Amino acid sequence: MSDKIILYHGSFCIVQSPDLSRCAAGKDFGQGFYLTTSKAQAQKFVATSIKKAITQKILTTPPSKGYVNAFEFTPSENLSLYEFKDANIPWLHCVASHRKQGCIPGEFEKWIGHDLICGKIANDQTNTVIAAFLDGIYGPIDSDRAAELAISFLEPENLTNQWCFRSTKALDCLKFLSAEEVSFHGK
């Protein structure tokens, strides 16, 4: 990966300088600043960001707008990057181990040294399937059969991507470009 790429982040606020200490743990690829190549996906995430900010009492009343922040990503040679090309068993095991540390022995530890992880997004539409997988509904979560069954329910061909910037070294590869207002009429 050597070319510059435009990435988007949907939020209740303008994010010119991402702060990893404000990023929650337990996300698909771990604690980090999440972006996507899909502007439409970032626009959809504005509503989620606003709802989380209200739940966490960062916002007291729902705003009428949010923002899609655009960044230019220029990879660095010394960046430890892992990219999942597909929603496959290793991808699902990575997501599972970050959402429920220790559920697959040794899996969480495999990802500790990576500055940036990219792959399909396990979003709100997929949470039910991921939760069922983590609960062992499809079988033992470290089995290929359970993973394959869960992946088939996720319809991976319809999933967009996400990029998890997990270190300051990764964040240093981002350049803030702009923030576009997005109307929000949620509850």
Residues 6+ apart with CB under 8 A from 24: 31
Task: Give tens-digit pLDDT for 99-156.
Answer: 998 999 999 999 999 999 999 987 666 788 989 999 999 999 989 999 999 998 887 7
Give residue 138's identity as a one-letter amino acid code. Y
Nearest residue to 70 (alpha-carbon basis) of 121, 117, 21, 4: 4
Residue 84's domain spans which residues? 5-183
Q: Show the tokens assigned to 40.
A: 């439409």
Q: For the chain, what is the domain count? A: 1
Tens-digit pLDDT profile for residues 171-183: 999 999 999 999 8
Task: Kindly report the CATH number assigned to the domain that includes residue 52.
Answer: 3.90.228
Q: Whole-angstrom Cα distance, residue 14 to residue 8?
A: 12
pTM beyond cutoff 0.75: yes
